[in-house]
Amino acid sequence: MNHADNPFLGQGLASTTLHPLGLEVEGGDGPWILLKGGGKLFDGISGIGVSNFGHGHPAIADSLHAQMDQNLHTMVYGEFIQDVQRQAAASLQASLPSHLDSVYFVNSGAEAVDVALKLAKRLTGRTKLMGVEGGYHGNTHGALSVSSNETRKAPFRPLLPEVSFLKWNDMADLAHIDANTAAVIVETVQGDAGIRIPNRAWLQALANTCRANGAMFVLDEIQCGMGRTGTTWAFSQFDVVPDILCMGKALGGGMPVGAVATCTHRMSQLAHSPSLGHITTFGGHPLACAGVRGAFKALAQVDMNQVETRCQAWQDALAAHRAVHQVRRLGAFIAVELANVDHVSRAVMSGLKPAQEGKTGVLMFWFLSVPHAFRLAPPLTATDEEMEKGLALVLEALDSVK
């Protein structure tokens, strides 16, 4: 195969697909991605749930600049301590229930998931792990093991042993959680499954069944957290609290960071028997923590009522479009179902086209596991005017679906 035309492989970079979009980025400004050649894109997906506060938010930029002038790296996480780590942890803890009073900053969402699984095994002395059908938790061997898309897992087996999956929203299936279960991990709102919102009673019963069996109830809010669903953490809308919480994506305000929160007593188990139960060179990196510090400042400025009003307007207009079969939404976390994958591809590519021609387009994107739907997750900081423009671009792209 000739890779010369691939903008990644052809230039000495790894590629994750043989047909990357390959748009050349110049910069970002609020909800806009600025392309080389003068085109711009409304960021309709916030970099898949990362740029919740848009591009170049002053609170995040200021926090990063201040830390850049002070220090970057000193030592593998867990020996030296820096103010910015304490400040990031304090901002995070102020947003969480009081029992989640200890945080481990790591490098990515998948690493946070791996830490949570390791911690659950260490805490319970058990080895059986459970995920939920439709769950996506990342691409390390551990995170992939508890994700449910078999097509994506099969080539990499063997993965972790003793992993099984609960049916989504199925009360009877909770009986599979037993005294050998170390943890059940579930996205509070499933992202890659097409923005699937759990039944409240089921999620509560899942949490209770874990507790009754001494298993850790692990919530993954890597994609649905940080204001995406209309509250800082989605679990607050379902009256459940996790034993262990995984975070990432928008947490760093655009910096690469993941985090695990639990209570201090539980977290302390990683410090002994063996010590260094999870070590990671760049964990708690000062610049990543400065991103977290800035992201919470940006989040505090978001008016969630306005986000709800704007996204309800998006939902109403999208649902009324002739090409749309269904819209699922919680806050600014949106799935738009069309008739089939061809319609999705046509809509997504039509959204991009004007920007490729030096004009204004919109970035929408596929789900890995739901081919007949596309995702929308606009920046929470977009103004009324920007959201109206973004919606007009999405509707225009949908008009291309015959």
Binding site for ligand PLP (CB under 6 A): 48, 108-110, 113, 136-138, 187, 191, 220, 222-223, 248, 258
How far apart are alpha carbons 380 and 359 in whole angstroms? 24
Q: What is the largest CA-CA distance in the chain?
A: 62
Residue matched to tokens 């929160």: 261
- Pick the closer one to ligand PLP by CB: 219 or 323: 219
- Pick the closer one to ligand PLP by CB: 138 or 354: 138
Q: What are the angstrom distances between the C-alpha of 147 and each of 20, 39, 102, 150, 187? A: 24, 37, 26, 8, 10
Using DSSP's 3-state secondary structure scheme, residue 200 falls into: helix
- Pick the closer one to ligand PLP by CB: 197 or 324: 197
Q: Rounded to the nearest whole angstrom, what is the least distance from the CB of residue 143 to ligand PLP in the complex?
A: 6
- Pick the closer one to ligand PLP by CB: 223 or 350: 223
| Side chain identity, residue 85 | Q
Q: Rounded to the nearest whole angstrom, what is the least distance from the CB of residue 240 to ligand PLP in the complex?
A: 16
Q: Rounded to the nearest whole angstrom, what is the least distance from the CB of residue 224 to ligand PLP in the complex?
A: 7
Q: Rounded to the nearest whole angstrom, what is the least distance from the CB of residue 360 to ligand PLP in the complex?
A: 27
Query: Is the Cβ–Cβ distance between 390 and 399 less than 8 Å?
Result: no
How far apart are alpha carbons 233 and 222 in whole angstroms? 10
For 332, the token pair is 């600014």
How far apart are alpha carbons 347 and 373 in whole angstroms? 10
Using DSSP's 3-state secondary structure scheme, residue 192 falls into: coil
- Pick the closer one to ligand PLP by CB: 185 or 344: 185
- Pick the closer one to ligand PLP by CB: 183 or 323: 183
Residue matched to tokens 């994609």: 223
Residue nearest to ligand PLP (CB): 109
